[in-house]
Each structure stands twice: as C-alpha cells, then as structure tokens.
Amino acid sequence: MAASAPVDGRVALLLHNGTSRPVRIDRVNASATSSGGALATSARTSATFPQVLAPDELALATVTFRKRGLGTEPAVTAKVRSTPVSTARAARVLSVGDLVLSPPLTGAVAQTMRATLTNTTASWTAQIPEAAVMCFGEAGTPTTITTARAPARRVAPGKSIVAKIELASLCPTYLVAARAT
C-alpha cells in the first residue's frame, strides 16, 4: 500500500492484491498516527477502483479523515478487508483505454483526462460506471485522486463509453481505473 500526504483531510491510497486469488475489496480501514505514535483519527471506505482485483493487480481508493483530525505529518496505515471471488466474477470489470490527458488549462480545472471504459464481457451489464485518476509526484508516491461518474448509467456487454475527469492540479504521471456494479 502507498498513501499520499493528506490534502484537506483526504488521503489517496494505492492498494495491491498480494494474494494468489481474485478478491473483492469490501472495506479499507485507514488510521493516522501522529509523529509521537498516538492514534490521531481513523477513516474508512468501501469504494475502490476497481472493486475486484486479480492477483498482483492494483486498486485506487481515497479515505477522508475528519476536519482538523490529522496532525502534522501523520503516518497513515490501512487494513483491507476482502473476500475471495471466482475467476468468472473477477472478469466482470470495465477495462480502461484510449487515455487522453489535456494540456494545462487555466482556472479551477488544471487538466482533464478522457478515458474509454469498455465492458469486454459477453453477458454482464455494468451499472453506475465511474472512473478515477490517481496522480503521482516526482518520488512516485500518490499525491491526489479524482473520481467522476461516467455519462451513462449502464454499459452493455461489448460496448464502450467515454468518461471525462476534471483534475484540480497538474498530473504528469497517473494511473486510471474504473468501477461499476
């Protein structure tokens, strides 16, 4: 797991399936400790991108700690609760491709990311598709994560849709993932 520094109480997390089986991520519990070792606060999420991971795959997530709950330079750790799933269930994910990062913009939106989300299955209909972009700093650690709903509520088998994610800061190095139910 890798974690970003907190930005307005939000911490971006990069998760890894280190098991030999596909898993569904049920919940991520994160805790932040102060430099003195005392527990400052905790947060949790059940939203990961994607929510089902094959062995050795990565997922993106974000947790939001309560305002002013984090001290200076907290150490963030996370515990992931997951459930093994079948290989057939692990295949029901949206693939991400045709990524286009815009040139730098002016205003509240620094850049946009366009991504094509494709349902490569033969029978599953993806519902409520979302996309996420995790940006990385020069050291290769996560800095921010931004999510956006796709323009359609469903993606039929064999079909694609284009999602647009508006980024608040420049994102020269990134990882993009999608989720759907």
Q: Are residues 73 and 139 in the same domain?
A: no
Our count of domains for the chain comes to 2
Q: Are residues 63 and 16 in the same domain?
A: yes
Q: Are residues 96 and 84 in the same domain?
A: no
State which of 42, 57, 88 marks the end of a domain: 88
Please give the model's pTM, rounded to 2 decimal places: 0.89
Q: Are residues 80 and 141 in the same domain?
A: no
State which of 88, 115, 136 marks the end of a domain: 88
Under a CB-based contact definition with an 8 Å cutoff, are residues 26 and 83 in contact? yes
Q: Are residues 79 and 155 in the same domain?
A: no
Range of the domain at 172: 92-179
d(CA 135, CA 155): 26
pLDDT of the chain along its 181 residues, tens only?
A: 888 888 888 899 999 999 999 999 999 999 888 776 666 788 999 999 999 999 999 999 999 988 666 766 788 889 999 999 998 888 899 999 999 999 999 999 999 999 999 999 999 999 999 999 999 998 888 999 999 999 999 999 999 999 999 999 999 999 999 999 8
Classify the C-alpha dihedral 132-138-139-144 as positive or negative. negative
Q: Are residues 76 and 7 in the same domain?
A: yes
